[in-house]
Amino acid sequence: MHTPAETLSLTNVLALEIADAGGRAYFVGGRVRDALSGAGDSADVDMEVYGVAPESLREILGRHGVVSTVGKLFGVLRLDGYGLEVSMPRRERVTGFGHKDFDISVDPWMPHTEACARRDFTVNAMLCDALSGEVIDPFGGREDIEGRMLRHVRADTFVEDPLRVYRAAQFAARFEYSVSPETLQLCSAMDLTVLSKERVFAELTKALTLADKPSVFFHTLAEMNQLDAHFPEVARMRGVPQDPRHHPEGDVWIHTMRVLDEAARLRDQANKPLFFMLAALCHDLGKPDCTVVRDEAEQRISAVGHEEAGVDRAREQLQRLTNQNALIEYVLNMVQMHMRPNRLAHSRSPIKKTRAMFDKSVNPNDLILLSKADVLITSQAAHADELESFLYERLDDYHKRMREPMLTGLDLIAAGFVPGPGFSEWMARARLFHFAGLSPENALRQLMNERKRHV
C-alpha cells in the first residue's frame, strides 16, 4: 500500500495527464471541506474527472496500476494500492427503498452545478481544481463552513438516502456544526428503518471515535426525533431521574451524554477505543428499569441492580447495530462491572477483592477508564484522580500476581480431582486462593481439605 504522500503525488501526475487528454480533474468531498475549514489535509483523496470519456480515463489510470470498479456503480474507479477513488459525474435516480437501487448514467460533460447538486450537504458540494487550486462552490459551501452550518443541497435528492440523517448527526459531532432548521425538518420526516445495521454502525463509529463530543451525535438525533429507529434503549434514558446528591448533573440521559464526552477524552488510553466508547454509551441502560423514587419530597432516588439489568438492555441495543460478538461481549462485561472499581477504591478494599474484580474483567485497563469517566461528572469528581491512582496500583498488583505460579487443572487432576461436573468450581476456588496470596502448595492443601468435607 502506498503512503498518503505517494497517493497525493500521483494525483498531480494524473491531473496533468487528464488535462493533456482534454479533461479536468478536481478534488471533491472531505478534502476540499477540510482544507477550507482549516482542518488540514484530509486522509480522503477523492477525485472527480470531467471532459474525458470513461474508456480514456480507465486507460490513463491503468498506466499507474491495476484499476478496479467500486461496487456496482459504474463511473467510480479505484487505483489499487493507492487508496484513491476517481469518479466521473453521474446522474442517479433512486428506484428502491433505503438508497439501495438506482438508475445511473455517467456524463463526463455534465455542468459542475448539476454534478454537485447530487451531494448531501453544501460543505461537501464543492470542487477544487487539482492543478490550479480554484474552488467551485455553486451552493454556498464556503459560507456554511464559516458559519459552521450543515445544510442540505437539494431537498428532493437529500431525502432519497435516509442515511443522511446519521451523516448529519456525525458531521455535527465531528466538526461542531449546527444543523439548519430546514435540514432538521427534512431529517425528522425520513424513514430510517429501511437502513441496514452496517450503514448505521459505520456512521456511529465515526461519531464515537472521531468527535471530541460524541454526545452531539445523539443530541442531534433527539432534536430530529430520530433516536427511536436504532437507539430505543438509549432514548429510554431521557427523563429518568437520579438522586441530585450524587448526580447534580441531571437525569440518566444527561449523565450518559456527559460520560460519553468524558470517555472521548480518555479513549486514546483505551485498549479498544470503539468498544470502550460503546461501553460508555451503554453503561446505564439498566437504570430506566430499576429507578425508584423513594422520597419524592427529599428527592431520594435509587437504581439498585441497574448493572445487571443493563446487560440485557445493552445486548438488545448492540444487536440492533452490529453482529460483532467480541464487541458485544466486551460491552456487556463492562456494563455489568462498571460500578465495582470505584466502590472498591472508595472503601480501600482488600487486595484479594481487587484481584478478583480484575480477573472477571474482559479488559481491566478500560474498566478503570470507564469508572473514571463515570465519576468525573458526579458529586465525587474531585476524587477521580485519587480513585484512578488506587485502581492502577491495584492493577499492577494483579498483573504481578498473575505472573506468579498458580494451580492448574493438571495439578488438580494429579491430586485426584476428576474432570467433569463441579471441576470448574474447584478451579475457581483455586484461583481465589491464588488471589488471597496462597502458594500453589497451600492452595492445593486447602482444596484437598474442602473436598474431604464434601465427601
pLDDT computed for residue 102 by the predictor: 55
Residue 36 has pLDDT above 90, yes or no: yes
How many CB atoms are located within 10 Å of the residue 114 CB? Answer: 12
Query: At 292, is the secondary structure helix, strand, or coil?
Result: strand
Higher pLDDT, residue 51 or 101: 51
Cα–Cα dist 412/426, whole Å: 8
> Per-residue confidence at 73, pLDDT binned at 50, 70, 90?
low
| Percentage of the residues of the chain whose pLDDT score is greater than 90 | 84
pLDDT computed for residue 375 by the predictor: 96
pLDDT computed for residue 398 by the predictor: 97
Higher pLDDT, residue 69 or 242: 242
C-alpha atoms less than 13 angstroms from C-alpha of 26 in its C-beta half-sphere: 24
Contact 151, 33 (CB under 8 A): no
> Per-residue confidence at 103, pLDDT binned at 50, 70, 90?
low
Residue 362 has pLDDT above 90, yes or no: yes
Contact 251, 239 (CB under 8 A): yes
Cα–Cα dist 174/210, whole Å: 6
pLDDT computed for residue 90 by the predictor: 86
Average pLDDT estimate for 267-275: 98
Contact 372, 383 (CB under 8 A): no
| Type of residue numbered 295 | D
Q: What is the pLDDT of residues 205-253, one digit of tens each?
A: 999 999 999 999 999 999 999 999 999 999 999 999 999 999 999 999 9
> Per-residue confidence at 43, pLDDT binned at 50, 70, 90?
low
Cα–Cα dist 140/122, whole Å: 6
Residue 2 has pLDDT above 90, yes or no: no
Cα–Cα dist 226/219, whole Å: 10
Arithmetic mean of pLDDT over the chain? 93
- The DSSP result for 298-341, as a single string, is TTEEE-TTHHHHHHHHHHHHHHTT---HHHHHHHHHHHHHTTHH
pLDDT computed for residue 50 by the predictor: 97
pLDDT computed for residue 4 by the predictor: 83
Q: What is the pLDDT of residues 339-353, one digit of tens each?
A: 999 999 999 999 999
Q: For the chain, what is the radius of gyration of the CA atoms?
A: 28
Residue 94 has pLDDT above 80, yes or no: no
pLDDT computed for residue 95 by the predictor: 57
Cα–Cα dist 117/109, whole Å: 15
Mind listing the domains of the chain with CATH numbers?
A: 4-147 (3.30.460.10), 162-224 (no CATH), 231-402 (1.10.3210), 409-454 (no CATH)
> Per-residue confidence at 105, pLDDT binned at 50, 70, 90?
confident
Query: Quick check: pTM over 0.95?
Result: no
> Per-residue confidence at 122, pLDDT binned at 50, 70, 90?
very high
Please classify residue 115 by burial: count the beta carbons closer than 10 Å to its beta carbon, then call 0-12 exposed, 13-18 middle and 19+ buried: buried
> Per-residue confidence at 298, pLDDT binned at 50, 70, 90?
confident
Check residue 96 and report its DSSP letter.
S
Residue 96 has pLDDT above 80, yes or no: no
In 3D space, the residue among 155, 167, 157 whose CA is nearest the CA of residue 94 turns out to be: 157
> Per-residue confidence at 454, pLDDT binned at 50, 70, 90?
confident
Q: What is the pLDDT of residues 3-32, one digit of tens each?
A: 888 988 999 999 999 999 999 999 998 899
C-alpha torsion sign, points 54, 55, 60, 61: positive
Residue 193 has pLDDT above 70, yes or no: yes
Q: What is the pLDDT of residues 309-341, one digit of tens each?
A: 999 999 999 999 999 999 999 999 999 999 999
> Per-residue confidence at 110, pLDDT binned at 50, 70, 90?
very high
